[in-house]
A and B are shown apart, each in its own frame.
Chain A
Amino acid sequence: AQTVTQSQPEMSVQEAETVTLSCTYDTSESDYYLFWYKQPPSRQMILVIRQEAYKQQNATENRFSVNFQKAAKSFSLKISDSQLGDAAMYFCAYHFQGGSEKLVFGKGTKLTVNP
């Protein structure tokens, strides 16, 4: 069974600094998707970034980028120039398109941004 592990229950960063959130996963598949979702206090799930496993190039979305290491099954999220609005729970998620339709979520990392 696929599993997603986020080893950092909580992280903090100073405003304008950079922070990296860790995520590892376990799968025997070769073609899959990985996601980072943000859940602010409103509890609305917001897609931050997505990575297709067949793409070697790391995905980037403005201040958000990932370090995708397929062999190591690692998928970390880097937030540059952190802003107060980045404070939220961040969930890493896995999806295998050819199997079960569900997203498998990690337990989440609570990010605090200090002014």
Chain B
Amino acid sequence: GAVVSQHPSWVICKSGTSVKIECRSLDFQATTMFWYRQFPKQSLMLMATSNEGSKATYEQGVEKDKFLINHASLTLSTLTVTSAHPEDSSFYICSARAGTRVEKLFFGSGTQLSVL
């Protein structure tokens, strides 16, 4: 089956630093990738949708300058949390879609970010 690799699986950083999270589709081309945020014991909240070669579409309330998304190729999207603060600590999950149909949607294994 299709595999989406997300790296790192966990990261601890100091407040004020930036952290980059990678999401790779290993065996398919993903024209669209999605980034979610999940707080403890809560549901997934979509942060942004990224399409290869174009700017990401952010959900209402998500700071574009805080959460930089780059989808430079058909197999890689990155989320950079800039000037991270403790309130940015969360579980971040990416998903990638092969083609245009929602049934071809696959999730990465997630990244736990802890900002000290």
Contacts and interface: CB of A to CB of B under 8 A. Distances in A.
Interface of A: 33, 42-46, 50, 91, 95, 97, 101-103, 105-108
- Majority secondary structure, B binding face: strand
A106 B43 contact: yes
Q: Which 6 A-B pairs have the closest CB atoms?
A: A45-B107, A105-B43, A95-B102, A107-B43, A102-B46, A43-B110
A16 to B, nearest CB: 28
Interface in B85-116: 91, 93, 95, 97, 101-103, 105, 107, 109-110
A45 B95 CA distance: 10
B103 A101 contact: no
Nearest to A45: B107
Interface in B40-60: 42-44, 46, 49, 59
B44 A102 contact: no
A95 B93 CA distance: 18
B109 A42 contact: yes
Contacts, number: 43
Interface of B: 32, 34, 38, 42-44, 46, 49, 59, 91, 93, 95, 97, 101-103, 105, 107, 109-110
A45 B93 CA distance: 9
A103 B109 contact: no
B42 A44 contact: no
B44 A105 contact: yes
A42 B10 CA distance: 12
A6 to B, nearest CB: 9
B15 to A, nearest CB: 24
Contact of A44 (B34, B103, B105, B107): B107
Given A43-B91, A91-B44, 13 more contacts: A33-B102, A43-B93, A44-B109, A50-B103, A97-B101, A97-B102, A101-B34, A101-B49, A101-B97, A103-B44, A103-B102, A105-B43, A107-B43
